[in-house]
Amino acid sequence: GDEGDACVWNNECASACCRSDRCARQEQCASVVIPSVGSTAPPANASNVCRNILISASFDQLMDVGSFKNNVFLTSNEQIIEGGVSGYSIDSNNDRIVDRTILTFSPKNLLAENSAHQVSIRGGLDGVKSRQGISMNSDYNWNFTTGNTICQIDKVEIMVEPPGEVKEKDLFECAGRNDCPNDQNAMPGNQHRYIAQALDSSGNLLSVSYIWAEIDPQEIINISSNSINNPFITAQSKNGRAFLKVQAETQGFENESSMGMGGISIDVFICENPWPSLIEFPYIDNETNFSTTYCRDGKTLLPNFDSQVVILGRGEVVKEFLFKENNGKDAIGIRVMKNSKKLDSLAWYRENAPNPGNPASLIIDGYEAWKDGRTVYVNAANSAGGITYTNIYLISYNQDAAKETIDIFNQMLNNLRFNTNIESLQEKIALQRNVKRWGDINEISDLLEKYKNSYGYYPKLESGSYLKGISVSAWKSWQDTLGKDLGAVLPIDPVNEFGLCPGYDAKTCWNEERKEFDGNLPEEFPEESYIYIYTTFDQGKTYSLNYVSEYPTNACQELSQCEFENNCYSFSSCHPNGSGYYCVLGEWKNSCGNKVTQCGEECDGNDETASCLAPGGYQGARKRICGNNCVFGEWTECLALGSCGNGIREPNETCDDGFLNGQPGYCSANCDILAKTWDSSLEFSEGEQVNVNLNGNQIQLDLQEIETEYIWLANSSDNRVVKLNIEDGSLVGAYLVGVNPSRTAVDISGDVWIANRDSANVTKLRGADGGLLKTCSVGNGPKGAAIDNQGYVWIANYEDGINGTIMKLSGDDTNCQILETINVGGGPYGAVVDGLGNVWISNRGANKIDRIEISNSRLTNYTDIISPYGIAIDRDNNVWIANYDPSGATKLDPVTGLRTFFSIEGNGRGIAVDKNNNIWMAMSGDNTVVNLNNQGSLLGRYGVGEHPIGVASDSDGNIWVINLNSGNATKLRGLDGVVLGTYPVGNNPYTYSDMTGYALRSITMRAGIWRTNFDSQRIGMHQSQIVLETEEPPLTNIRTRIKSAVNEDSLAAAEWSDYYTERNIIIETDRWLQIEIVLSSESDDVSPTISSISVSSP
């Protein structure tokens, strides 16, 4: 053809070339290149080719992949072999520009063995074309011959378009648009194409089937198909990280297949101005293995923190990083700390942070973290040189930082990634689970040591488990037996499953019929088991606590063990080289100084005394001191005994203060005791008095006056409680607790308990300042809290509304032991304790009332009480229940069981009894509170805030109503319902219980406290004796508890002992003592009395 004539390929043109379907002159043909095949796989005339080979041809330019369809043929013995044709582009020059296309043909089935094959790529008019529309001048053919081998998959790679190269990581910088650079598909959004390639050990590409799977917890990507080798991946319009894995499989092996796995890490970071720049993106430290970044985009670009200072480690600091803008005043710092004990982040924070408070919980890149003010503490694992360990990463910014700096800090925190030296996301997840295991093992070890300190041995597990002395986290005995002994809900392994154990129960690997386990614990158990194992030895004298690592670690699988020359040594073992070191929590430490004579020592903190004959023939004593090197020093001279008053404590003396002997607060004149006595009004007045008065020379209850100073309200949606002064409604403080708190109960000491519905725990705060005393795990959905006359706390767990439970907890400041669990069924909602020793439960889930007799835990049900909500006790010990629908109040006689229902419109919710024995009930349906007399007659109805929920009475006779929707509390005068004030309290206040403590003090128990501090003058731990002279009429009680510290200022933070009912108490104490005596009565007319209190420290 001549110039301008229609054409398909160059041979049709008389002029120079065929271009864009028309013949063209020579000067127009400069950019036209006829496509050709450069290389093939298998190569031409290859023999002994794998029967599962992937056939490919490499073109010298970019081709129109759509033109491959119906133009590629594979034949053998003149038979066409079915298969799939595809293609992809590559960057052959490593300049990030794709310039060639690879054609692939994947046979549908295995090729016949030992057979000749021919591959044909059609050229000419209807053949394959370049992207410029240029065809090959002719067909391209080549031959090969198969062998009898089906090749095994050696590895699986992933090629990414763009840039057309094999990669382990991919980055999307643009999403949610169709104009993103390098978009690989016309579908909405930005697509990259991933091509899976299975290779054998010789590097040959194999024809296999593929299955793709996403690990995408942040939902940042979509995959076009899970079952092809070249899916398109679409990035979503949010930043994050995902992992895409592909499994390749080829069939044909007898009874099995050949499989391989590949994967790629995908980051989506949508930003036009990243920090650092994309050339350095992201900021990464290859020594401590973390990375971070932030985006400067905005109306005004965020500062560029390109000034960086890196400080090498010293002591416990591994490395420090300081990021700031040149000439800027603000800075962001990252400090990497050692964590040799492998503490979890909260435990490390409490042990090392200055002035630890109540930090907020976070998750950073899958690791637990805690934020306190401007600093975040993250405990992340590291792995290097075959050893795994953890570091604490502290991330902080300066005080008075600009808003832009805080924005950068938050972005760097959200984009913080750890374990950057680990390519496999599965390995990283396994490592993260190991970190949880280390924290769990430390937590359980602490509980075990506390148990031993209390009982002298570790839990023996003599019964209650499949195997005596052994419990496994996947067994029921882990919680029901070991957990109950330790007084805690124990953590379990993050996987917590046995491997395969045919012939045994799949969940426990226990055969109940044969009474045997599939293995020999603790050493032998099914492979692929991930469990915790507790084993006790020698009647509880020692124990082992094992876990199974998912990630390569050192020889020791137990945190308490130590390693030496690839051998493991148990806790407290002496070092095998005789150096005098011993094993403590995974570290070899010098045994000298641990107060135990071991590992070749003569002594360790234990001086030695011996009898001797003193000059003049007197019986005497001599002593030798244990030195700092754990070797005894020389014997002292022999000193005569009985020399009271010389200021030296002799072996037969308990004290000797020289010329001060016999004076108040010092050693007695006989050198035998240091004592103080209170037995007069003047001396009793030295102590702190709460709800008690001094009658002559006695302490007794103040039966005329009950004081309630504060009201505690739960803000459910804010996860905090607020404390108001009941006199003027002023806000005293707000304190973070658990998740979705709903019930508060004030104990006799003024401390407050909070039931947290959605975190399955209860929190105890110190009444004086809101300080955290303890948080205890209970059942699910705790919705009731009440305190009995012995100080025990009763928690009602709603569970699922069908299987509700009641738990009894110790009332002290540290012990979380669950003393008793009673199954009541249904959904227990509220709790109250009467003056007769009964706990009463409003059970909404079962439309009933439950009574538990405290003395014997006997359970009685009162049914047919419809829709019960709040519950209260009047001064005659009648039970009052608020009914929601039908709306009203029910009065229950505890003796006869008679129920009387009083119909009152408005949907009853909370209910309380005032000091005049009248009943008050919140009506959420019409925003009122009603007042009834004790016979159920309506005395008045008064408007309050929106959706009133809870009601409480205070010691002034006023009524407090808690309004959920208006976020406030209404205070009314109990005599006439006049509103005295409305006080804002925060979001969603939701409290039904004894939030002032008035019901406890006026009905459950009439109680008061006398408290004092005492300086024993004795340095170090010693025995102290407290003796009381009392009178306790029927229905009265006196209890005493003690705490001690090295100085008076430290008493506030010291732990209380249990309550003593004895009148002669001997207890181990430090120098300073605080003594608290609780007087209580179940009657309005009678009080116990104290006439004398004596304290001595022999």
- The residue with greater pLDDT, 184 or 788, is 788
Per-residue pLDDT at 388: 80
- The residue with greater pLDDT, 660 or 201, is 201
Task: Tell me which DSSP letter residue 189 carries.
Answer: S
Query: 513 in a domain, yes or no?
Result: yes
User: What's the whole-number mean pLDDT along residues 274-284?
Assistant: 82
**Domain final position from 239, 268, 297:** 268
Query: 159 in a domain, yes or no?
Result: yes
Are 261 and 313 in a shared domain? no
Are 219 and 134 in a shared domain? no
CATH number at residue 287: 3.40.1000
Are 805 and 934 in a shared domain? yes
Structure tokens at 449: 């040591």
Are 1015 and 948 in a shared domain? no
φ, ψ for residue 437, nearest 5 deg: -60, -45
Are 442 and 367 in a shared domain? no
Per DSSP, the three-state class of 156 is strand
CATH number at residue 238: 2.60.40.1080
* DSSP code per residue over 606-623: --EEEEEEPGGG-EEEEE
User: What's the whole-number mean pLDDT along residues 399-413?
Assistant: 94
Per-residue pLDDT tens digits for 968-986: 999 999 999 999 999 999 9
CATH number at residue 1048: 2.60.120.260
Per-residue pLDDT at 213: 82
What proportions of the chain, in percent to the nearest 5, are helix, strand and coil?
10, 45, 45
d(CA 867, CA 400): 53
Are 453 and 352 in a shared domain? no
User: What's the whole-number mean pLDDT along residues 819-829?
Assistant: 94
Structure tokens at 189: 């959004």
Per-residue pLDDT tens digits for 360-385: 999 999 899 999 999 999 999 888 76
Query: 1070 in a domain, yes or no?
Result: yes
Are 263 and 301 in a shared domain? no
Domain of residue 695, residue span: 676-703+1006-1096
Contacts of 642 (CB under 8 A, 6+ apart): 618, 650, 652
Per-residue pLDDT tens digits for 33-51: 789 999 999 999 999 999 9
Average pLDDT, the chain: 87
- The residue with greater pLDDT, 270 or 736, is 736
Per-residue pLDDT at 554: 46
What amino acid occupies position 347? A
Q: What angle do CA 540, 543, 549 make, to 5 degrees?
A: 160
- The residue with greater pLDDT, 427 or 1065, is 1065
CATH number at residue 919: 2.120.10.30
Q: In what order do the strands lie in the sheet with 720-725?
A: 710-715, 720-725, 731-736
Structure tokens at 754: 């909070």
Are 841 and 971 in a shared domain? yes
Per DSSP, the three-state class of 229 is coil
Are 852 and 874 in a shared domain? yes
d(CA 968, CA 462): 54
End-to-end CA distance of the chain: 123
Are 797 and 847 in a shared domain? yes
Per-residue pLDDT at 527: 85
Query: Could you tell me which of 494, 627, 608 has the C-alpha nearest to residue 550?
Result: 494
- Band (pLDDT 50/70/90 cuts) for residue 659 is confident
- Band (pLDDT 50/70/90 cuts) for residue 1033 is very high
Dihedral class, residue 941 (left if φ above 0, else alpha if ψ from -120 to 50, else beta):
beta
CB 432 within 8 A of CB 366: yes
Query: Could you tell me which of 414, 340, 343 has the C-alpha nearest to residue 376?
Result: 414
* Helix H or strand E encompassing 468: none
Per-residue pLDDT at 106: 92
d(CA 1066, CA 295): 66
Per-residue pLDDT tens digits for 1085-1094: 788 999 999 8
> How many Å separate Cα 135 from the centre of its chain?
64
Give the count of domains, the chain: 6
Structure tokens at 264: 């790629």
Query: 714 in a domain, yes or no?
Result: no
- Return the biggest CA–CA distance within the chain: 143
Per-residue pLDDT at 14: 64
CB 494 within 8 A of CB 518: no
Residue tagged 């209910």 (tokens): 911
Peptide bond into 162 cis (omega under 30): yes
d(CA 835, CA 874): 9
Per-residue pLDDT at 212: 85
Query: 566 in a domain, yes or no?
Result: no
* Cβ neighbour number for residue 186 with a 10 Å cutoff: 7
**Domain final position from 988, 1018, 1046:** 988
φ, ψ for residue 931, nearest 5 deg: -120, 125
Query: 605 in a domain, yes or no?
Result: no
Percent of the chain with pLDDT over 90: 49
Query: 873 in a domain, yes or no?
Result: yes
Are 200 and 329 in a shared domain? no
- The residue with greater pLDDT, 800 or 558, is 800
CATH number at residue 70: 2.60.40.1220
d(CA 312, CA 320): 6
Per-residue burial over 809-830, b if 16 or more Cβ lie within 10 Å, else e, is bbbbbebbbbeebbebbbbbbb
Structure tokens at 898: 């008679």
- Band (pLDDT 50/70/90 cuts) for residue 10 is low
User: What's the whole-number mean pLDDT along residues 132-154?
Assistant: 91
Per-residue pLDDT at 997: 92
**Domain final position from 421, 441, 456:** 421
- Band (pLDDT 50/70/90 cuts) for residue 255 is very low
Query: Could you tell me which of 741, 669, 619, 701 has the C-alpha nearest to residue 1010?
Result: 701
Are 861 and 983 in a shared domain? yes
d(CA 903, CA 401): 60
Query: 577 in a domain, yes or no?
Result: no
Per-residue pLDDT at 586: 59
